[in-house]
Amino acid sequence: MTNLPHEHGQNEEVILAQLPDEEEISGVAEAMKQLGDPSRLRIFWLLCHCEECVLNIAALVNMSSPAVSHHLRLLKNSGLIVSRRSGKEMYYKTADTELAQVLHHTIETLGRITCPRETPPQNKK
Amino acid sequence: MTNLPHEHGQNEEVILAQLPDEEEISGVAEAMKQLGDPSRLRIFWLLCHCEECVLNIAALVNMSSPAVSHHLRLLKNSGLIVSRRSGKEMYYKTADTELAQVLHHTIETLGRITCPRETPPQNKK
DNA sequence: TTCTTGATTAAACAATCGTTTAAGTGTTGA
DNA sequence: TCAACACTTAAACGATTGTTTAATCAAGAA
C-alpha cells in the first residue's frame, strides 16, 4: 500500500505510522535550535548551575549585555529559562521543567562524548 | 577573586571552572544545530528506524531529492548518519555511535514532552 | 557506446540569525 | 525630581541557512 519509488524489504508503513507529526517535530526542533547556538548553549549551561543577573552573565560568558539580553529572551520564549526581578536586577535561571532537565542532561552527556577528556572514546561494540 | 559587576552569594568560581571549554561547547552546539531544523530532524528520526535510499527518504518526508541530499550531507558531516552504496542507490541510516543514540533518545523523550498525546503533562513537583 | 535511473553539485534567491550601536524603560537612592 | 544603574528594545548590518532549478556525476542496462 506504500507508494514509494523503490520497494525494499522494509516495512515503511509501520515506521511512518509512528513518525511524529508536524507539530511534534517542530516543537522538538525549536528546543534543539535554541541550543544549537554556542552562545545560548553556554548561557543555558551556566543557568543550569546558578541563578545570575544579566550583567554577571554577560561578564561570565564575555558578551555585551544587549547580546545576552537578546539570547535570554529567546531562551525564555522557548520555556527553557525563567526570570525574576529583585530591585534593579533581573535574575535568570533554568526553568524547573522536564524539558529543561532533559536538555541539560543531554548536554552534559554529549559534552563528554564529543570532546572526551580523561576517558578515551570507547567504541563499545 | 572573581571579577564580576555584582557580588551575590554564589560561588561563581567553582561553576566557571566546570564550564565546558570553547571546543566542547562548539561540538555539542554543532550536533544540536543539525537537529534544530525540522527537515533534518524528521530525516534523522526516520533513519533511526530504517535504512533507506534517497528517493524513498524524499518521498517519505515529502521533499525534493536535492533538498534531501543536501540535508543528508550535513547530517553525515556531523557524524550522525552513515551511507552505503548498493548498485545505483545510496542507502542512509543513523550512525551506530553513542552520539547518535543519545540524540535519538533525547528526541523521543522531548517528543513526548513538548507535545503530549495520551499522557497529560504532569508537572511533577 | 548510448540511454536510463539514482544521486549529487552549483548557482541563485529569499529568509533567518547574531551582533553591534544607540535609544529607550524601569527601578533605586540622593 | 533628578541622576545613576540594570536591563531591554530598535534599527542596521553582515553572515549563514534552506530551498529551488538546472546541470553534472555515477552505475547499470540496452
pLDDT of A91 over the 60 cut: yes
> Phi-psi region for residue B69, left (φ > 0), alpha (ψ -120 to 50) or beta?
alpha
For A39-67, write each residue's pLDDT tens digit: 999 999 999 999 999 999 999 999 999 99
- Residue B55: CB less than 7 A from any atom in strand C: yes
The answer to whether some atom of strand D lies closer than 7 Å to the beta carbon of A95 is no
Span A95-115, average pLDDT? 92
Using a CB-CB distance cutoff of 8 angstroms, which residues of chain A are in contact with residue B23? 115
Question: Residue B32's CB: how many other CB atoms inside 10 A?
Answer: 25
**What is the structure's pLDDT at A122?**
41
pLDDT at A10: 64
| pLDDT, mean of residues B102-123 | 75
A15 vs B69: CA distance, rounded Å? 21
- Tell me, in Å, how far CA of A4 is from C1' of C18? 41
Q: CA of A86 vs C1' of D1, distance in Å?
A: 24
Residue type for position B12: E
Per-residue CB contacts under 7 A with strand D, chain B residues 53-92? 63-64, 66-67, 70-71, 74, 85, 87-88
Strands (E), A1-123: 52-53, 81-86, 89-94
Q: Which residues of B touch A35 (CB under 8 A)?
A: 28-29, 32, 36
pLDDT digits (tens, 9 = 90+) for B40-83: 999 999 999 999 999 999 999 999 999 999 999 999 999 999 99
Specify whether the CB–CB gap between A44 and A95 falls below 8 A. Answer: no
Neighbour order of strands in the sheet with B52-53: B52-53, B89-94, B81-86
pLDDT digits (tens, 9 = 90+) for A25-42: 999 999 999 999 999 999
Grid cell, residue B85, equals 552504496
Alpha-carbon distance values, A15 to A45, B46, B49, B81, B93 (Å): 35, 8, 7, 18, 14
pLDDT tens-digit map of B1-48 = 457 788 776 677 777 777 778 888 999 999 999 999 999 999 999 999
Q: Give the rounded percent of residues in chain A with a pLDDT score beyond 90.
A: 67
Strands in B37-107 per DSSP E? 52-53, 81-86, 89-94
Residue B14 has a pLDDT of 78
